[in-house]
Amino acid sequence: MKLYNQITPIFLRFFTFSLFLSLPLLLLFSLKTTNTATITTTPNPGIRIRPGYTTYDTYIKKQLNKTLNPKLRHLWTTRDWDRKIRVFSSFFSQLKNSSLLSNSSKALCIGARVGQEVEALRRVGVSDSIGIDLVPCPPLVIHGDFHKQPFKDESFDFEFSNVFDHALYPQKFVREIERTLKPGGVCVLHVAITTRSDKYSANDLLGVDALVKLFKRSDLVWVKKVDGFGLDTEVIFRKKKKKLID
């Protein structure tokens, strides 16, 4: 009885202590859950997140639905293949002429589907180029989520994407680009200002300013009209050479 009385307080104390220790972990876990389960980013009135994505899983499933569509994949690799490579090649050779891209650039295409833009980069002489998408398409495209790029910091000289509108977390999309670009690296985005009539879009960009606001570690190089498969605006950033503490 005496022993029992002694053990109980010790046990209780230990229990309370371990609960106290695990509180920060519990808090962290609940924050993490909130972060992926609901759509809450820093308010940016120039970017409207489309409703209907209750969890990250429903978002990914919807994106996969388009990427895996066999009819679309067939079109992308047949009817669209040469036409798109020709247009992308002309964009990229213009960027080479403006010294924003060179044969020795290490280049990434984000959300590259079957990899037409990667093929275009290689054809204009940028041999060290690769694409990422939720579904890999070897040898041009490997598996990767643009919200969490599978690359180390400062891996690329050049990144291109025309799927900004598919980002559920535009801030993360941009943060990952700025993380994986080398200082002085160039990011080229083709976007639609106003609404893109794609039911798979996750956000609508209402103006270029909203995009510029997201690129905290870069300078704006130019904004220019393009005709890029339903996307009307080319926005180019260069990551600052001097690292900022932000």
Ligand X SMILES: *[C@@H]1O[C@H](CO)[C@@H](O)[C@H](O)[C@H]1NC(C)=O
Please give the residues from 115 up to 134 whose contact with ligand X meets the rule CB under 6 A.
125
Each residue 27-46 as x (binds ligand X by CB under 6 A) or -, in order, gives --------------------
Q: Least distance to ligand X from the beta carbon of 94, Å? A: 4
Q: Least distance to ligand X from the beta carbon of 126, Å? A: 8
Out of 77, 93, 155, 171, the only residue in the binding site for ligand X (CB under 6 A) is 93
Out of 28, 68, 75, 220, the only residue in the binding site for ligand X (CB under 6 A) is 68
Q: How far apart are CA 145 and CA 131, in angstroms?
A: 11
Sorted by sequence, the CB contacts under 8 Å of residue 164 that are 6+ apart come out as: 170, 173, 189, 191, 203, 205, 211
Residue 228 within binding range of ligand X, rule CB under 6 A: no
Residue 87 within binding range of ligand X, rule CB under 6 A: no
Strands (DSSP E) found in 98-216: 107-110, 129-133, 141-143, 156-161, 181-191, 203-205
Question: Burial letters for 98-121: b for 16+ Cβ neighbours within 10 Å, e otherwise?
Answer: eebbeeebbbbbbbbbbbbbbbbb
Stretch touching ligand X by CB under 6 A, among 64-72, 144-152, 167-175, 232-240: 64-72
Out of 5, 42, 78, 97, the only residue in the binding site for ligand X (CB under 6 A) is 97
- 186 SS3 class: strand
User: Where along the sequence are the contacts to ligand X (CB under 6 A)?
Assistant: 65, 68-69, 90, 93-94, 97, 103, 125
